[in-house]
Structure 1
Amino acid sequence: MAALLLFSIAQAFLIQLPYGSGTAHETFRVLLILPVYLTTALLCLVASRRSNGLRQRTWFFFALAFFAWTTGQGISAYLTAQGALTYPSVADIVYLLFVPLMLTGFLQLKGEAQRRATPLIMTLDIAIVLIASMAGYWHFFLSHNLHHPLSPLASAVTMAYPLSDLILFGLLVVVAVWSPGSFPTLRLLLVAFGNLSFLIGDTLYQMANVHGTYRPGEFIDLFWTFAALAIGLGAFLASRTGQIERIAQIEATFGRAWGRVAAILRETMPYGAVIFAIYLAVMHFFRPDGNAVGIIAAMVAVALLTLLRQGLMQLHSYRMQQQLDQQAKYDALTGLMNRTHLSERLSGLLEDARRNSKTVAVMFMDLDRFKFINDTYGHAAGDMVLRTVADRIRASVRQGDLVVRLGGDEFVIVLRTIKDAAEAGAAAQRILQSVGRPLELDDQDLSVTGSIGITLCPAEATDEATALRNADLAMYHAKERGRNAYCYYDPKLQVQNEGHRKLETQLVMALERGEFEVYYQPVVELSSRHIRSAEALLRWNSPVLGAVSPAQFIPVAEERGLIVEIGAWVLRQALTQVRTWRSAGHADIRVAVNVSPLQFQQDGFVELVERALRQHGLGGDALILELTEGSLIRDLEAANAKLVRLRELGVQIALDDFGTGYSSLAYLQQLQVDVVKIDRSFVQAMGETGPAVMEAILHLVRQLGYRTVAEGIETVAQYADLEGVGCDSGQGYLFARPVPAREFERVLAHYSRRETAPGD
């Protein structure tokens, strides 16, 4: 930047010197401006390298434009030195490349400007500004100089300089007005000032050429120098914004000021062009000359284009307002009403029901196990499920009933007028049946279910907040009853809800207070009746709530994200215990620890396990990690990479609850696991169907090279059937219930005796 200033000052000084004679002196005058333009080209190139996106391309084309101008000046100097400079010459062709290259640079920013306006409105603005500007230029300059004799080619080139500048300046004005933030405003103003200097310089050059008085290196050249200096300064700022905080502050101040000006100009710019065109038309009407018809035609064109433009602006504003209303009142993913629109509509419906003795049913619906779908198949699949569910709910209710997505997987359905609770129940059942139809996801049939809570208004609620709270409570009761069901609101549910909130509050502090304990249940080798491992099972004995079932607190811990910290604590406790057992002589026993999907997905999970084993002085052969299918198949490749690392430590991997997932058989052969735990439902089913199904499952698992554990063995008959079909190990109340660590030592001693029989 210092070099540009130095060259500009040197040129301005040398121009003041008396104009000498001779070819060498004239050539020197032509070369004076060359360093200024070459330096500006280099500054634009640096700005391009340090910018990104559209601005990078803009500065690159600016650099090419200044390189073209520098080349033209070099050619002009050469022809002058040879005494062969004519007008027009080859140099003029190269000079004129400057404008299309600058124009291309500005068109990179036009795309950002079109985010505020349609392409047609921008095109009309450019046309309005250009027609008015050209009419003014014709009136003030061209019409007074056309009588001077020039060849057609010379006349065309002479007019090309300022007219191309006008086009460039008009586009710049429109971009600056419609997209003040697309190019940091101080730089945009510097570029605008530079183009204005070009326009003035080229106009004076045109007039001087027409009269035959132009000589290089005189006063006119200073306008071109100022143009290069302004654009070069803009390029310098663009290359240093991230490095100089003061520049960023100045640009931010200019940006805010120009933003306010641009907002005014977007509304008034066409009217300014119309007023200017009318002024020119009136001048020529009262002082008629040969140019009056053209000027008046320009005025009419500007007026008509402005009318068309303003009409399109009104249409554009109306559509934008509609879009804003749509965004404010409707859910973008499903197209259903959102919470804001529900508030507006539901309050009115409840008031109307109260005044006219009508009954309105408010339903709150939540999808069952939707988190599993998101975790397993990804959020894109989850979004597809939500859209499908929304369409099915909409098709299941009457026209005029309200269907709303509150957020996540929560929906509200408002039945505007019903006879009684039975009608609301029938509608809820239709919705559940429709939503529950299988849908195809990743070439598989997936069943999605929901739970619905119903409250009747105004009998049970007279305002929106109470109605949604009542329906929400009823929905949670439906989930507790087994999901895929609907439930009516009952005042007793409020008491249950308070209990849920109390559980959540106590759970947050339970780990810190030492309220958790790990119980252990043996896994017995069926052929030898020896304990090979123990599953660690978490228990919570709250001083406030008493003994809390894992079925109650584990889902809450997962929902609140507490399960990660709790899971790490269980791992440490289990490893401490297995080290104790091994020290007591049970050298081969392992401990199995359940891992939640959220815990397994943590980036540092493998490192956590490795560190825990090292701190307890244990090898990986002491540990089995039990994971459900949902923990693994969301991103099978990443999951398998973790499993491989864990198995390299010596840790065994067990697939828990096999047979209850969406696609167990499809994924089983791809998983890096050692043990498959067969869900208790298959064990219980042997009493009705016999061991045939179990035998088929065991055959499949053995073919894949995995060991098997049957869960939920409760009778000697089940034990005998499983041993008969070749199941490796079993777990269940037949052998022992989950017990504290101190009692488990007696279980270990009991099963160490050779004569022990199952159930003893």
Structure 2
Amino acid sequence: MDPDRHANPPRGEGADEDRSADTPGGALQPASFLAALEEHRAQFGATHSLAVLVIRLDRFAHACDTIGPNRVHALRAQVKSRVASVAAMPVAMHWLGPADLGLACLLPDADAEADGAHHVRDLSQLIASALTRPYHVDGFEVFLSCSIGGAVDQPDTGVERHLQLAFDAMLQVNKRGGDGIHTAIQPATPRLATLLAALPGAIGRGEMSLQLQPRALLSSGVITAYTVRLRWQHPVLGRVAPQDFMPAVETLGLINEIGGWTLQQLLQLICETASIGPMQFTLLATSSQLQADDTICMLRRAIDACGLPPGQICVEVPVGIVPDSHVATEKAQRLRDGGIGIALADFTDDATSRRALTLTRPDMVMLDARHLGSAHLHPDLSARLQAACVWAKAQGTTVCAKGLETQAQLDIIRGWGCDSMQGYLLAQPFPATWLAQTHMAVAERARRLLAP
């Protein structure tokens, strides 16, 4: 089984430079940077595409030791000056951490996303060439290399997503030794053989973790649930997406081991965060887990042992893996008898989805609204999602729209009559261990975003 956005920070070139540059531990400090991107979108919309880059100065700490703390500001100023000299009209340029510079700048007109990726790579190469020339600071000669990650800003996707993509792309370069470029347009998928070799022992090495993404009621803005996702951070491969490593998990027969570990971690989390109030936690089920009786038995034993109320744990089942037979009805009934909720994911207005709903009678269906309102959206998709929402509600099933990233998408699904929402517009996924400290901030964000 698998904070709140800023509020009008200071503007102007380098307005947050000194504060964020001295942030301990290199933590990402994106508020002013994201504010500038939002401001650009509000002013120009989709008229001008942006490159979003995160640049890490690989040997910055060593350089600071060499020149002393009093000259660090002068070195940073030279770095920004060189970046600005090759970037086309920077929209934003802010220090995100001690050695991490965020940059957003205009791209030439591009007819396709691939063209945008090409321009991002070209720009990154120009910046890398500029930054690797020697620096002269009060008689000291300093040499730096850089790791650059880039993404193309798309107006139908949240700005936080693009910054995170660029940051992750930069980390991939940095963890391979730095001095390189990676564009997060079509991230490379590790070869299956590599994953098969790396997966055994991943739990024991502490590489697996859980992340949570909140779900909120549209009527009140109250957070009622968190979706649980498994994450794998490998020291060499970096962050591996679940859709890439889960097939390898099933191939190796590790699905019960990882499913059991996930459930154990979740139960511990529920006990430790009981003070935040009753929350539902939704786990994603794979095809093999849905077919295996062991999974249902494991869930029911855990609920009984911990005395959890009915529905506190929910299983998210993609429509495409629901068996088209009485077996689906039997397994759904066993889940309900054990106090386990059922959510049908990837629900749409087609025969497969309707059949799955009839067989399982879920508590909730989930519509994938990630591309809603996109210029690349198939013209029929919006109508099909709306029809799916109307039909599901007519059957007495609540409807959640997930993947929301813009206010426009939220307005659309409100008009359909959806009951709840989930997505980057509300909050990014965050480590499950942060729940006790993060829940109140997320709840306040939900109230301001959604409450009437």
Tell me the TM-score range normalised by the shorter chain.
Answer: 0.5 to 0.7
Q: Which is helix-richer, 1 or 2?
A: 1
Structure 1 vs Structure 2 CA RMSD: 2.9
State the 1:685 CA deviation. Answer: 5.7
Distance 1:691 1:746, change over 3 A: farther
Q: C-alpha distance in 2, partners of 1:578/1:684? A: 36
State the 1:723 CA deviation. Answer: 1.5
Instruction: Return the match for 1:618 from 302, 308, 316.
Output: 308
Q: Does 1:695 align with 2:386?
A: yes
State the 1:709 CA deviation. Answer: 0.8
8 A contact 2:202–2:208 mirrored in 1: yes
Q: C-alpha distance in 2, partners of 1:752/1:498? A: 37
Q: Does 1:663 align with 2:352?
A: yes
8 A contact 2:217–2:223 mirrored in 1: yes
The 3-state SS of whatever aligns with 2:224 is strand
Identity of aligned residues (%): 31
Superposition pairs for residues 301-700 of structure 1, below 5 Å? 499-582=191-274, 584=275, 586-634=276-324, 636-659=325-348, 663-680=352-369, 683-684=372-373, 692-700=383-391
Q: Does 1:722 align with 2:442?
A: no
The 3-state SS of whatever aligns with 1:535 is strand
Q: Which is strand-richer, 1 or 2?
A: 2
Q: C-alpha distance in 2, partners of 1:720/1:497? A: 35
Partner of 1:735: 426
Q: C-alpha distance in 2, partners of 1:701/1:682? A: 20
8 A contact 1:691–1:725 mirrored in 2: no
Deviations 1:557-604 (A, max 9, x none): 12333223212221222222123222x1x3221100011110121123
Distance 1:640 1:497, change over 3 A: closer
State the 1:691 CA deviation. Answer: 5.7
State the 1:546 CA deviation. Answer: 2.6
8 A contact 1:657–1:677 mirrored in 2: yes
Superposition pairs for residues 218-257 of structure 1, below 5 Å? none
Partner of 1:413: none
8 A contact 1:567–1:595 mirrored in 2: no
State the 1:722 CA deviation. Answer: 1.2
8 A contact 1:517–1:538 mirrored in 2: yes
Q: C-alpha distance in 2, partners of 1:529/1:587? A: 15
Distance 1:637 1:503, change over 3 A: same
8 A contact 1:683–1:712 mirrored in 2: no
The 3-state SS of whatever aligns with 2:396 is coil
Q: Does 1:757 align with 2:448?
A: yes
Q: C-alpha distance in 2, partners of 1:497/1:654? A: 29
User: Which one has the largest radius of gyration?
Assistant: 1
Distance 1:499 1:722, change over 3 A: closer
Could you state the TM-score of these two structures normalised by the residue count of structure 1?
Answer: 0.32
Partner of 2:29: none
Q: C-alpha distance in 2, partners of 1:572/1:632? A: 25
State the 1:692 CA deviation. Answer: 4.4
The 3-state SS of whatever aligns with 1:659 is coil
Deviations 1:488-530 (A, max 9, x none): xxxxxxxx99954222111122123332000000011112111
The 3-state SS of whatever aligns with 1:524 is strand
Letter in 1 for 2:394: Q
Q: C-alpha distance in 2, partners of 1:581/1:602? A: 30
The 3-state SS of whatever aligns with 1:621 is coil
State the 1:686 CA deviation. Answer: 9.5
8 A contact 1:629–1:661 mirrored in 2: no
Could you state the TM-score of these two structures normalised by the residue count of structure 2?
Answer: 0.53
Distance 1:602 1:687, change over 3 A: same
Kindly indicate whether structure 1 or structure 2 has the higher relative contact order, using CA contacts under 8 Å at least 6 residues apart: 2
State the 1:755 CA deviation. Answer: 8.2
Q: Unaligned 5+ residue runs, structure 2?
A: 1-187
Instruction: Return the match for 2:435 from 732, 744, 750.
Output: 744
Partner of 2:80: none
